[in-house]
């Protein structure tokens, strides 16, 4: 067992925790980062599986993600564009495949008109939402009382419009069914990415990747903190007194500090023993957020065969098990990689069957987009974040119906010496690496100011 003393102890070596640690260190404060896993990065994890480099967690960078872009530049990391030449494909409710280019799915003209109308309406509403304070919007309470699905039903009778508009937020972002979160939560998701149109535009939202993998961000940030990072130390107790905090890990380490930052998914707070306990409203708040659930599927082939058919690899269908899929070929790789996503209820269903059947059904879904060659990858892997004890879902956490208006404003508020930072509580960059970095900076700045006062 060991005991150390620092100015600030940080729980979690993800993008948020490591950003905060670096900012604090730059300001002359001493830090210790306690990480439960035996690696840094949290939901960023680049690994080699059966000879293929895979982005098991987050990977894409979009133009609005300024904090991430600054960090990439500062760390000297190179980016490259996602492959997007050729036609995208869309499958409708009858299972009919249509090739298309541009953003709007190839749907009947009336349906297209309705989709465009709703996207414009959502853009207008999103423009009025401050991603840092969606609860402050004059209609926030009303918008938080209605599920996104019910809100869409009020807007249009066209089922295909509803299915597609829901997809951009539900399956593709919050990874929860559209009846499980509010219209306000949906607007926050879009506002955090700049507009609803940005979510519709895959070329925008999934613009670039990092050569060598996005986990290099936490790995390089961690290199600057080597003496200060302690892997394999899940924190189980946070004790606070008037004078400071003591944080105790399963690895038998105690860190005494002036401040503590909880830099992990907020759904994990209840697994920590706080002494004294957190205030009652925080306890309530933490019961109204939950993780989304998505399987990220990686299928590697000897070559990107779909390109030979003039396909970009971009594929969408609210009616397919894999509701979206992309060309995810690594930079400079001869092999071709497809990445598909299986979200919320589809993910539940597929985790109720055997691994073999799951694989068969997922590859079958990919073959609907790309043809029979998709059935025979040389490497196949499912990112299974629901089974990860220190994450418990993907991509991130969101409020249940009514929770955002009721408790959202309190999510980031510190409790005395206890501060909170995570992508799951960001405004801009919410649920993304960019938001994690922004929250890391924000919490570090607050502590630096407090420490100097």
Tally the residues of the chain: 453
Site string for ligand FAD, 224-263 (x = CB under 6 A): ----------xx---------------------------x
CB of 328 to ligand FAD, least distance (A): 10
CB of 440 to ligand FAD, least distance (A): 7
342 lines the binding site for ligand FAD (CB under 6 A): no
Q: How many angstroms separate the first and last alpha carbons of the chain?
A: 34
The β-bridge relationship of strands 97-100 and 87-91 is antiparallel
Beta strands, E only, 279-354: 289-291, 294-301, 311-316, 324-327, 336-343
394 lines the binding site for ligand FAD (CB under 6 A): yes
Which residue shows structure tokens 């260190």? 25
Contact 304, 83 (CB under 8 A): yes
CB of 220 to ligand FAD, least distance (A): 15
Looking at residue 61, the DSSP 8-state letter turns out to be B
358 lines the binding site for ligand FAD (CB under 6 A): no
| Contacting residue, 10, 15, 172, 397, with ligand FAD by CB under 6 A | 15
Footprint of ligand FAD on residues 168-197 (CB under 6 A)? none
Using the rule CB under 6 A, give the single segment among 7-15, 162-170, 314-322, 399-407 that binds ligand FAD: 7-15
Strand order in the sheet with 273-275: 2-5, 253-257, 245-249, 235-240, 273-275
- Cα atoms found within 13 Å of the Cα of residue 433, Cβ hemisphere only: 32
161 to 76, 93, 153, 343, 449: CA distances (angstroms): 43, 11, 10, 19, 49
59 lines the binding site for ligand FAD (CB under 6 A): yes
433 lines the binding site for ligand FAD (CB under 6 A): yes
213 lines the binding site for ligand FAD (CB under 6 A): no
CB of 202 to ligand FAD, least distance (A): 12
216 lines the binding site for ligand FAD (CB under 6 A): no
CB of 188 to ligand FAD, least distance (A): 15
* Run of H or E residues at 163: helix 159-169
Which residue shows structure tokens 């691994």? 355
Using the rule CB under 6 A, give the single segment among 130-138, 142-150, 160-168, 388-396 that binds ligand FAD: 388-396
CB of 156 to ligand FAD, least distance (A): 30
CB of 5 to ligand FAD, least distance (A): 19
Strand-pairing partners, residue 364, are: none
Rounded to whole angstroms, the Cα distance separating 441 from 434 reads 11
Which residue shows structure tokens 């990072």? 229
411 lines the binding site for ligand FAD (CB under 6 A): no
CB of 368 to ligand FAD, least distance (A): 22
The β-bridge relationship of strands 294-301 and 311-316 is unpaired
Nearest to ligand FAD of 137, 233 (CB atom): 233
Binding residues for ligand FAD (CB under 6 A): 11-17, 34-37, 42-44, 57-60, 234-235, 263-265, 268, 272, 296, 383, 385, 390-391, 394-396, 422-423, 431-434, 436
């Amino acid at each position: 067992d060991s005991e150390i003393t620092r100015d600030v102890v940080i729980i979690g070596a993800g993008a948020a925790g490591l950003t905060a640690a670096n900012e604090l260190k730059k300001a002359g404060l001493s830090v210790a980062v306690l990480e439960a896993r035996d690696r840094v990065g949290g939901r960023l994890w680049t690994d080699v599986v059966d000879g293929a480099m895979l982005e098991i967690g987050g990977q894409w960078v979009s133009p609005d993600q300024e904090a991430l872009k600054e960090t990439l530049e500062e760390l000297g990391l190179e980016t490259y564009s996602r492959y997007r030449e050729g036609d995208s494909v869309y499958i409708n409710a009858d299972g009919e495949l249509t090739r298309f280019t541009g953003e709007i799915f190839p749907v009947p003209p009336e349906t297209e008109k309705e989709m465009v109308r709703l996207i414009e309406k959502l853009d207008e509403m999103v423009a009025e939402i401050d991603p840092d304070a969606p609860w402050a919007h004059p209609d926030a309470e009303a918008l938080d009382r209605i599920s996104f699905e019910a809100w869409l039903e009020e807007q249009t009778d066209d089922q295909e419009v509803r299915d597609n508009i829901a997809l951009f937020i539900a399956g593709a972002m919050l990874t929860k069914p559209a009846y499980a979160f509010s219209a306000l939560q949906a607007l926050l998701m879009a506002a955090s990415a700049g507009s609803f149109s940005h979510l519709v535009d895959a070329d925008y939202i999934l613009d670039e990747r990092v050569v060598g993998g996005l986990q290099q961000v936490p790995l390089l940030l961690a290199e600057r903190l080597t003496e200060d990072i302690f892997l394999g130390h899940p924190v189980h107790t946070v004790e606070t007194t008037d004078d400071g905090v003591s944080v105790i890990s399963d690895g038998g380490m105690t860190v005494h500090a002036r401040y503590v930052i909880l830099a992990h998914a907020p759904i994990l707070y209840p697994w920590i023993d706080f002494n004294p306990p957190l205030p009652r409203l925080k306890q309530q708040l933490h019961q109204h957020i939950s993780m989304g659930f998505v399987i990220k599927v990686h299928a590697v082939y000897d070559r990107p065969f779909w390109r030979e058919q003039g396909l970009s690899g971009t594929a969408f269908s609210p009616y397919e098990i894999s509701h979206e899929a992309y060309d995810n070929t690594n930079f400079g790789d001869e092999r071709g990689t497809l990445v598909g996503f299986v979200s919320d209820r589809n993910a539940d269903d597929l985790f109720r069957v055997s691994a073999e059947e799951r694989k068969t059904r997922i590859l079958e879904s990919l073959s609907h987009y790309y043809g029979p060659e998709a059935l025979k990858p040389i490497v196949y892997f499912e990112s299974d974040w629901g089974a990860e004890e220190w994450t418990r879902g993907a991509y991130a956490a969101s409020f249940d119906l009514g929770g955002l208006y009721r408790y959202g404003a309190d999510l980031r508020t510190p409790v005395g010496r206890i501060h909170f930072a995570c992508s799951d509580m960001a405004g801009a960059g919410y649920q993304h690496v960019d938001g994690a970095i922004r929250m890391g900076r924000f919490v570090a700045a607050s502590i630096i100011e407090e420490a100097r006062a």
